[in-house]
């Protein structure tokens, strides 16, 4: 049986998404449903990943679970005033996705490459959320390595919490912030026969 490849998106669609996506700081209800999130994650899992190791997992945190995580992070704060602010940060979006890096021992795929694959997945997920009208931002989060946070999220000894994607609906009236085009000329070097 011959399978027909899925139609490719129109030229410019992916580039438009990349050029126009912005981190959305102010987020409100609703957030993607569990089914939509699974669909988005299945698409994000196609990001570059040598060996298809998928060296990551996500923890979806919503509702009162956000406050519980905020309390765990607040325990790591050095002062009561800071603890209150830390706890509140976990309530700024209806959905938090903890990005957990799970490096695997592999004879030819080093840890750095697996970390790059995890970052590629998270970036792709942010782009996909944006194209469906959701807002999102990736924050490191307060005290991601604190024992209280690791215990609360059941982060294993060989795992690393890379922060959270905060996800929800952009607050009405908050348009995307303009971003000047980057001057990348100094970031590109050519090695070819002309330069030799």
Q: What's the whole-model pTM score?
A: 0.88
Find, among 149, 141, 139, the residue nearest to 75 by Cα. Answer: 149
H helix runs in the chain, sequence order: 13-20, 34-44, 64-74, 80-89, 111-131, 147-152
**What's the burial of 90, exposed, middle or buried (CB within 10 Å: 0-12/13-18/19+)?**
buried
> What is the dihedral sign for C-alpha 137, 140, 144, 150?
positive
Structure confidence by residue, pLDDT tens digits, 9-66: 555 578 888 888 889 999 999 999 999 999 999 999 999 999 999 999 999 999 999 9
Taking only Cα atoms into account, the Rg of the chain, rounded to an integer number of angstroms, comes to 19
- Judged by average pLDDT, the poorest of 18-22, 29-33, 166-170, 181-185 is 18-22
Structural contact between residues 91 and 67, judged by C-beta atoms closer than 8 angstroms: yes
The percent of residues above 70 in pLDDT, for the chain, comes to 91
- Judged by average pLDDT, the poorest of 89-103, 127-141, 151-165, 180-194 is 180-194
Is 23-171 a domain of CATH 3.40.50.300? no
Q: How confident is the model at residue 109 (pLDDT cuts 50, 70, 90)?
A: very high
Structural contact between residues 97 and 165, judged by C-beta atoms closer than 8 angstroms: yes
Find, among 177, 93, 91, the residue nearest to 136 by Cα. Answer: 93
Report the C-alpha gap between 192 and 145 in whole angstroms. 45
């Amino acid at each position: 049986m011959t399978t027909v490849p899925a139609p490719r998106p129109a030229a410019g669609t992916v580039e438009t998404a990349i050029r126009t996506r912005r981190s959305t700081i102010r987020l409100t209800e609703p957030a993607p449903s569990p089914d939509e999130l699974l669909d988005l994650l299945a698409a994000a899992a196609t990001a570059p990943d040598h060996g298809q190791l998928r060296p990551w997992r996500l923890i979806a945190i919503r509702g009162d679970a956000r406050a519980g995580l905020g309390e765990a992070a607040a325990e790591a704060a050095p002062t009561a005033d800071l603890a209150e602010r830390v706890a509140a940060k976990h309530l700024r979006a209806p959905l938090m996705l903890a990005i957990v890096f799970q490096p695997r021992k592999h004879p030819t795929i080093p840890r750095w490459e697996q970390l790059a694959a995890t970052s590629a997945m998270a970036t792709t997920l942010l782009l996909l959320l944006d194209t469906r009208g959701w807002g999102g931002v990736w924050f490191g989060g307060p005290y991601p390595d604190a024992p209280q946070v690791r215990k609360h999220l059941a982060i294993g000894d060989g795992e690393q919490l890379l922060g959270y994607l905060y996800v929800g609906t952009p607050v009405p009236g908050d348009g995307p912030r303009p971003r000047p085009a980057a001057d990348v000329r100094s970031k590109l070097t050519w090695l070819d026969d002309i330069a030799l």
